[in-house]
């Protein structure tokens, strides 16, 4: 029988204390074993302290952030990445600029280096890297991520090109935009010496009608090999537009029966660091 392995990875750790609390609570259910941290969040230091004292063991990666909040560097240092108020550009604006070559690769490198460095002071090693709104696979940005992942000895990079095995919803239509970017493919990163799970899912697993049904369908359809499932558990904080839906994901993931159903389906729950070199 061919092996199936699953990494459930929670984005947005550090965004806000209610989000952090939801991720830690979700991890107690047993299926969630990795998270990606936003180092530019005002409460990042407290978030890492809370994780360390929680007793929960999670792989921690960098959630490279260029579309939410304020940068770690000053707006004068990275003018092509911020708006007039010194905040990061909205996702659609950053993507438009990246596609037309109107952002500076040097500025991207310097800001993301500051984010990598801040996370590296809190944990022994960074297990993986991905991006808020998948910005790490945008043109120009992907090259900076590649360079920094080597510098910080990060082996795993998220390849967010979702296969047809995963259920669809209106919210998952944006996966088509991501899939059109070359760096969304595992082959892009593997050709550059990095590791990626074989499959990716999660665009359709967020809150909304029939969330439990979508989770059951996804578990049954997990393909052979290693699959990463992106999730966004948390509690309401007012920090982003998805806020209201996070609590439904906490309920799903904190239920220990989910981990049992995954195991009963012949799927091994694993982490980035547990995978063989």
For residue 276, is it within any domain?
no
Burial class (CB in 10 A: 0-12, 13-18, 19+), 52: exposed
pLDDT mean for each 10 residues of the chain (277 residues)? 90 97 97 98 96 97 98 98 98 97 98 98 97 98 98 98 73 79 97 96 83 88 95 92 88 96 96 89
The closest alpha carbon to 215, from 175, 255, 174, 268, belongs to: 255
* Model pLDDT for residues 35-66, shown as the tens digit of each residue: 999 999 999 999 999 999 999 999 999 999 99
What is the tally of structural domains in the chain?
Answer: 1
* 148: containing domain: 4-269
Largest CA distance in the chain: 57
For residue 36, is it within any domain?
yes
For residue 245, is it within any domain?
yes
Residue 234 CB coordination number (10 Å): 31
Q: Does the model's pTM come out above 0.85?
A: yes
Residue 44 CB coordination number (10 Å): 21
For residue 159, is it within any domain?
yes
CATH of residue 152: 3.20.20.370
* Model pLDDT for residues 104-149, shown as the tens digit of each residue: 999 999 999 999 999 999 999 999 999 999 999 999 999 999 999 9
For residue 277, is it within any domain?
no
For residue 121, is it within any domain?
yes
For residue 158, is it within any domain?
yes
User: Distances in Å between the alpha carbon of 24 and those of 11, 33, 54?
Assistant: 12, 10, 7
For residue 275, is it within any domain?
no
């Amino acid at each position: 029988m061919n092996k199936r392995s699953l990494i459930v990875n929670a984005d947005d750790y550090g965004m806000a204390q209610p989000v952090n609390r939801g991720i830690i609570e979700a991890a107690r259910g047993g299926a969630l074993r990795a998270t990606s941290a936003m180092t530019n969040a005002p409460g990042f230091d407290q978030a890492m302290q809370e994780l360390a004292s929680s007793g929960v063991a999670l792989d921690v990666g960098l959630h490279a952030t260029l579309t939410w909040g304020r940068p770690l560097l000053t707006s004068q240092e990275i003018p092509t990445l911020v708006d007039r108020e010194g905040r990061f550009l909205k996702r659609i604006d950053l993507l438009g600029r990246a596609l037309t070559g109107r952002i500076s690769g040097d500025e991207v490198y310097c800001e993301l280096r500051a984010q990598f460095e801040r996370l590296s002071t809190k944990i022994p090693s960074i297990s993986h890297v991905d991006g808020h709104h998948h910005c790490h696979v945008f043109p120009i940005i992907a090259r900076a991520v590649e360079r920094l992942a080597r510098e910080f000895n990060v082996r795993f990079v998220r390849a967010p090109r979702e296969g047809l095995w995963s259920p669809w919803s209106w919210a998952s239509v944006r996966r088509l935009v991501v899939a059109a970017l070359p760096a969304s493919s595992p082959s892009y990163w593997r050709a550059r010496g990095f590791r990626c799970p074989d499959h990716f899912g999660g665009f359709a697993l967020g809150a909304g009608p029939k969330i439990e049904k979508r989770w059951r369908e996804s578990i049954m359809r997990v393909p052979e090999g290693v699959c990463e499932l992106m999730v966004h558990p948390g509690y309401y904080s007012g920090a982003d537009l998805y806020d209201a839906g996070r609590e439904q994901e906490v309920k799903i993931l904190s239920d220990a029966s989910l981990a049992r159903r995954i195991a009963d389906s012949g799927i091994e729950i694993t982490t980035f660091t547990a995978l063989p070199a």
